[in-house]
């Protein structure tokens, strides 16, 4: 017997012996009349806060489903899921509740699946009680003993493969008094994915066991898809709002270094427990770990959520957006264009699009596209001598305003674009200026974009 198969057999047998169950479900599938059916939502949404003042029996229904879905634009993958999403839905119960969990396995599955919940006080976390062949259902009960935010995942051998294919999620156990009220709650989980093809190789990709063993993922993603939290999928808030993020790391191998560029976390529940840290810039979440983050959004704009092992964010996909609406807050944040000695000179140039554009390009655009406009191979497309830009300069207005996510071809080279939204950060004059500057620099064909054109394009997005 191979070593991996031997370990898998020992693991499964040990769970079954420890829990003292056979092949059947651990408890009867009969549900109490007083039970509550838990509503489940696809991430990043979460169930509503609990307002009960008593414990209850809560019924939760999960379905293991193997399905082909999009991993990145142009890239498909055979995911293994709970309820058809990666991560699976966030469950929300109260400390002291009895949870009756029903796990069914889709009849079209190729594998048996189960569930190990880190909130369970008992051998295997429910894994041995829920080994479920295709087309069948298992049921078990547990009492939610301690409050916190916990990971759940499939623990069928080979366990790393099931997790790497997307079988993870989180369960929140609220304390009896509930959590402090906030304006918004969102659910984000990071995971590492191992594909046979290279990053952004098109078509259907299969799982790569050798990359898994070497712990060298092709992608590191939030919520199971590159760009899942960008553009239409971005998280939203308003100036002055409080936001609670339930953030977990499914792994199976890499820790997350969760950070939001331009935000400081008010409160972080360390490792998802009761100890709270304050004024945190970046919090580390281990594989199989989770945390609760509370922050206050005070300045409008688009903020990037990243794994601050920053190559993972800009090269492997661990990137999301938090879009904050509302009025500007100059007392908290404003751009100062020049030292006092040069104010008069700047005022003279205030209406010069090229001067405005050069400043915006230097302060913002050059970080990705480089000071010479040549971009970074494999990451950021060139603006210099760009056939994509020169073929449709007006198209660039919408890209700067609303961002661009997906595959584009520039000068016969494919790029997976991750252009952030700058419409809330830059004025019409600044967008017109920077596009005019780029069109007349770096070997491009020239041209002018006006503030009126930007204003007209911006108005199209207003309902």
Q: Give the model's pLDDT for residue 345.
A: 47
Structure tokens at 250: 């499914």
- Rounded to an integer, the average pLDDT of 289-296 is 98
- Tell which residue, 385, 391, 461, has the closest CA to residue 422: 461
Residue 393 or residue 46, greater confidence: 46
- On the 0-12 / 13-18 / 19+ scale of CB atoms within 10 A, 133 is middle
Q: Coil, strand or helix: which one is 125? A: helix
- Rounded to an integer, the average pLDDT of 253-282 is 97
Quick one: which H or E segment has residue 301?
A: strand 301-307
Alpha carbon separation from 159 to 53, 184, 450 (Å, rounded): 38, 34, 57
Q: Coil, strand or helix: which one is 257? A: strand
Q: Give the model's pLDDT for residue 99.
A: 98
- Rounded to an integer, the average pLDDT of 157-166 is 97
Q: Give the model's pLDDT for residue 405.
A: 79
Residues 451 and 429: beta-carbon distance below 8 Å? yes
φ/ψ of residue 29, rounded to 5: -80, 0
Q: Give the range among 71-85, 300-314, 359-373 with minimum mean pLDDT.
A: 359-373
Assess whether the region 3-41+50-176 and the region 340-460 belong to the same CATH fold.
no
CA dist., res. 137 & res. 64, Å (int): 10
φ/ψ of residue 74, rounded to 5: 85, 0
Confidence check: pLDDT of 270 > 90: yes
Q: Give the model's pLDDT for residue 340.
A: 52
Quick one: which H or E segment has residue 311?
A: helix 311-316
pLDDT in tens, 162-171: 999 999 999 9
How many beta carbons lie within 10 A of that of residue 17, not counting itself? 11
Ramachandran assignment for 251, one of left (phi > 0), alpha (psi -120 to 50 degrees), beta (any other): left
CA dist., res. 185 & res. 47, Å (int): 9
Q: Give the model's pLDDT for residue 396.
A: 92
Residues 243 and 116: beta-carbon distance below 8 Å? no
User: Sorting pLDDT into bands at 50, 70 and 90, what band is 436?
Assistant: very high
Give, in words, the CATH class of 186-325. Answer: mainly beta
* Residue range 3-41+50-176 in CATH 2.60.40.420: yes
Ramachandran assignment for 124, one of left (phi > 0), alpha (psi -120 to 50 degrees), beta (any other): left
Q: Give the model's pLDDT for residue 426.
A: 84
Q: Give the model's pLDDT for residue 461.
A: 56
Output 29-32 pairs: Cβ under 8 A, ≥24 positions apart.
29/102, 29/137, 29/139, 31/57, 31/59, 31/100, 32/57
**Helix, strand, coil distribution of the chain in percent, nearest 5:** 25, 35, 45
Q: Coil, strand or helix: which one is 445? A: coil
Question: What residues pair up with 82 in beta bridges, in sequence order?
Answer: 64, 85
Mean pLDDT of the chain: 88
Alpha carbon separation from 196 to 199, 208, 218 (Å, rounded): 9, 5, 8
Q: Give the model's pLDDT for residue 332.
A: 95
Residues 217 and 253: beta-carbon distance below 8 Å? yes
Q: Give the range among 3-12, 27-36, 162-171 with minimum mean pLDDT.
A: 3-12
pLDDT in tens, 41-63: 999 999 999 999 999 999 999 99
The share of the chain scoring above pLDDT 70, in percent, equals 89
Output 109-114 pairs: Cβ under 8 A, ≥24 positions apart.
109/64, 109/65, 109/66, 109/134, 109/135, 110/66, 110/134, 111/66, 111/80, 111/156, 111/162, 112/156, 113/64, 113/80, 113/154, 113/156, 113/162, 113/167, 114/138, 114/154, 114/155, 114/156
Q: Give the model's pLDDT for residue 344.
A: 46
Quick one: 340-460 is in which CATH superfamily?
A: Cytochrome c-like domain (1.10.760.10)
Domains of the chain by residue range = 3-41+50-176, 186-325, 340-460
Confidence check: pLDDT of 9 > 70: no
Judge if pTM exceeds 0.85. no
User: Sorting pLDDT into bands at 50, 70 and 90, what band is 187?
Assistant: very high
- Rounded to an integer, the average pLDDT of 411-417 is 84
Q: Give the model's pLDDT for residue 177.
A: 95
pLDDT in tens, 331-358: 999 878 755 544 444 444 556 888 888 8
């Amino acid at each position: 017997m191979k070593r991996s198969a031997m370990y898998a057999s020992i693991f499964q047998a040990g769970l079954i012996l420890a829990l003292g169950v056979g092949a059947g479900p651990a408890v009867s599938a009969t549900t109490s009349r007083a039970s509550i059916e838990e509503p489940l939502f696809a991430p990043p949404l979460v169930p509503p806060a609990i307002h009960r003042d008593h414990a209850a029996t809560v019924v939760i229904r999960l379905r293991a489903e193997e399905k082909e879905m999009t991993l990145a634009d142009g890239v498909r993958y055979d995911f293994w899921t709970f309820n058809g999403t990666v991560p699976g839905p966030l469950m929300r119960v109260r400390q002291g509740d009895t949870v009756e969990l029903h796990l069914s396995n889709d009849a079209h599955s190729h594998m048996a699946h189960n569930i190990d919940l880190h909130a369970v006080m008992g051998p295997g976390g429910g894994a041995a009680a829920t080994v479920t062949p295709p087309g069948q259902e298992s049921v078990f009960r547990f009492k939610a003993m301690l409050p916190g935010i916990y990971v759940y995942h499939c623990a069928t051998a080979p366990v790393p493969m099931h997790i790497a294919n997307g079988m993870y999620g989180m369960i929140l156990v609220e304390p009896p008094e509930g959590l402090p009220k906030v304006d918004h709650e969102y659910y984000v989980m990071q995971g590492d994915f191992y594909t046979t093809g290279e990053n952004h190789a098109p078509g259907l990709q299969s799982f790569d066991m050798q990359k898994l063993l070497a712990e060298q993922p092709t992608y590191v993603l939030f919520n199971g898809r590159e760009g899942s939290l960008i553009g239409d999928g971005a998280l939203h808030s308003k100036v002055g709002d409080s936001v609670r993020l339930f953030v977990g790391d499914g792994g199976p191998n890499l820790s997350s270094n969760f950070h939001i560029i331009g935000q400081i976390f008010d409160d972080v529940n360390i490792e998802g427990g009761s100890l709270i840290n304050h004024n945190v810039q970046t919090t580390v979440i281990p594989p199989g770990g989770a945390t609760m983050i509370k922050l206050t959004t005070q300045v409008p704009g688009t903020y990037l959520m990243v794994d601050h092992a920053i190559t993972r964010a800009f090269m492997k996909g661990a990137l999301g957006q938090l879009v904050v609406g509302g009025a500007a807050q100059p007392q908290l944040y404003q751009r100062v264009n020049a030292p006092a000695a040069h104010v008069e000179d700047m005022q003279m140039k205030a209406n010069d699009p090229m001067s405005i554009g050069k400043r915006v390009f230097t302060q913002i655009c050059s970080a990705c596209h480089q000071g010479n406009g040549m971009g970074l191979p494999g990451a950021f497309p060139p603006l210099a001598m760009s056939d994509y830009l020169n073929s449709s300069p007006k198209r660039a207005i919408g890209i700067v305003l609303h961002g661009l996510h997906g595959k584009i071809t520039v000068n016969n080279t494919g790029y997976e674009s991750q252009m952030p939204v700058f419409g809330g950060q830059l004025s019409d004059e600044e967008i017109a200026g920077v596009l005019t500057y780029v069109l007349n620099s770096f070997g491009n064909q020239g041209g002018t974009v006006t503030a009126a054109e930007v204003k007209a394009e911006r108005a199209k997005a207003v309902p």
